[in-house]
Amino acid sequence: MANHTRILPVLDLEENFRVEGVIEHMKDRWLYTIPVSLLYFTAVHLGQKYMETKNPWNLRMPLVIWSGLLALFSWLGTIRITVFLILSIRENGIFPTICGIREKLDNPCWFWLYLFVMSKLPELGDTFFIVVRKSKLHFLHWYHHITVFIYSFYMCAHPQSGMIWYAGMNFAVHALMYTYYTLRAARVYIPRKCAMFVTTCQLSQMVVGVALQLTSSYMLYKGYNCDTSVQDIVFGMCIYASYMVLFADFFYKAYIDKKEKKKVK
């Protein structure tokens, strides 16, 4: 079993975490994410209507604190999950980490996977700052928040080995993204190439996510002892494929299309 104690100290809170009760608790309750998502969707659009006749709120310092805390949390999660993933790949090879190491996940890893899932609820608060500051709200933003929220809780109720990859990638990309947001909110100059790099990382995450789903389906088809199901793969593929298309479209419009239009002018 990959063990955090080889490289990182382990807190009692992490070591004593027991995932069995969490999984059982989530079996039916993950469906509560759907009415919560509908409530979020309604609040976002009502908020936009309300702000149409209002001046944008500043909230610069609250945004710095909010993004900074999420950045710190994401960096901690990245370190924890990445260390475990690297150790697991070294001991078991890459394919078992995709399809067959669920029983080998140690308590600290489960603890951070659980925190990863739970973090998707407060992350919905990102949209509050966009709405009240009257920034442009893209379809990608609220669609991504809703679907990640639902899918993460679904994975908590139906855990599979691949979730260590999904959580690890998401933690790492969010660590970069929220650090970028924190610096921007603090009015620190950041080159445009940094924003492009963050979006590239987001798009790359979706490409890898699709690749992981395809790998899982292949291994399941070939008869490997995978701790995933056809339902899990179909759900995950729909999620990641839609993200890949939307992030590719966003990347093109934000960086390539604008650059071409500037050349024409």
Catalytic residues: 144
Chain centre distance of CA 160:
16
CA separation for the pair 155, 102 (Å, rounded) = 12
Closest alpha carbon to 111 in 13, 21, 28, 8: 13
Chain centre distance of CA 100:
22
DSSP 8-class letter at 119 = T
- Tokens linked to 38: 């509908």
CA separation for the pair 66, 159 (Å, rounded) = 29
235 Cβ neighbours under 8 A, 6+ residues apart: 151, 154
